[in-house]
Structure 1
Amino acid sequence: MSGPEKKGVPRWASYAAATAILASALAALVYLNRLYPVGLGPRQPIPFSHRVHAGIKQISCFMCHDSATRSSRAGVPPLETCLLCHSRIIRNYPWIARLRGHVAQNRPVVWERVNWLPEFVYFDHSMHLMRGVDCGHCHGDVRQMDRVAKARKFEMGFCIRCHKVNRVTHDCFVCHR
């Protein structure tokens, strides 16, 4: 006899114990949010699924990011925007209750930023939207993302290629101010 069977423990029991330990470790990783599916963005303080809101419910990007159409920044919507719907829809869901608590206490939610540009780069969302550039060109298919993940690396080459393809100026001072 070899291994555990020498001591009177059947081999299948050893395998079952090892499997249970591995399953527990995997469950702990999932529970602690250490095991991310591919393409999942950073964990946010209040879970928000763009897939549900923009994809399934087909809510326009501009319902929440309304400043994108009139300014350089798309911005993060005020929490009151969420409550336009969630004062009536799934009110008792724990995360919505937490959101309402933030609003009641006038306490902001500090979201984890996904996309950013260096300070020396000027980018105007409204100008690109007026010219028909779809949000997904830079941000990917957000309608399929539960947690938004960075779709592109915003480097100068990405922007210049787009400007050249679309026959738009690529003069340095357009972006570098």
Structure 2
Amino acid sequence: MPAGSGGTPHKTGPPWGNVAAAVVVLCAAAAALVYLDRLYPVGLGPRQPIPFSHRVHAGIKQISCFMCHDSATRSSRAGIPPLQTCLLCHARIIRTYPYIARLRELVALNQPVVWQRVNWVPEFVYFDHSMHLRRGVDCGHCHGDIRHMDRVAGAVKFEMGFCIQCHRDNRVTHDCFVCHR
């Protein structure tokens, strides 16, 4: 102790009060980010009004894409299934799950679910799902491995370069008027 200070020695040690405060602030920030839906895994698609896991349905349960997206085999659009399609199974399976109850309620009220779109091509591009399926193009080539996605994320950017390269790789015409009508 220095001469003439006349007090008790001041102990220097770790500022535990400051560390605890920093931990509390970091935990509060992390909780706020989770609450604001900012901390979800990379590649996770947009939040949908009714959670639907393609990983469970297409992966674990091995339900074919065409059970729900049946118009893909016969038209240009894959389509979104009517809610009654969901209730083919969910009239008996996990009926009490709140989101399934919400589905039944929407069907009873004849109201649609407004899903967040994940994939699209520009309006000036003509794309026909059925033609690609007839030629043996797997859905995963453009949409990724849906069987491992809870919330679907766009696997590729549907830009002209992607389509042209696929047509070249598969020795298919890349005449402009095939896609731009």
Per the normalisation by structure 1, the TM-score is 0.91
Bigger shift: residues 25-34 or 86-95: 25-34
Partner of 1:49: 53
4+ residue runs over 3 A deviation = none
> Which of the numbers 119, 125, 131 marks the counterpart of 1:127?
131
| Alpha-carbon distance in structure 2 between the residues aligned to 1:25 and 1:151 | 31
| Structure of larger gyration radius | 2
Residue 70 of structure 1 pairs with residue 77 of structure 2: no
> Which of the numbers 158, 164, 173 marks the counterpart of 1:160?
164
Residue 84 of structure 1 pairs with residue 88 of structure 2: yes
> Which of the numbers 136, 140, 143 marks the counterpart of 1:136?
140
SS of the aligned residue for 1:170 comes to coil
| Alpha-carbon distance in structure 2 between the residues aligned to 1:47 and 1:144 | 15
Q: CA deviation at 1:23?
A: 1.3
SS of the aligned residue for 1:113 comes to coil
Higher helix share: 1
Partner of 1:175: 179
Partner of 2:110: 106
Q: CA deviation at 1:27?
A: 1.8
Residue 115 of structure 1 pairs with residue 115 of structure 2: no
Gapped regions of structure 2 (runs ≥ 5): 1-9
Residues 61-106 of structure 1 deviation map (CA, whole Å, 9 limit, x = unaligned): 1110010011110011111111111111111111111111111100
Bigger shift: residues 26-35 or 110-119: 26-35
Aligned residue type for 1:52? V
- Please provide the CA RMSD for this pair: 1.5
Gapped regions of structure 1 (runs ≥ 5): none
Partner of 1:35: 39
Per the normalisation by structure 2, the TM-score is 0.89
Q: CA deviation at 1:19?
A: 1.0
| Alpha-carbon distance in structure 1 between the residues aligned to 2:86 and 2:106 | 12
Equivalenced residues, count: 170
Aligned residue type for 1:147? R
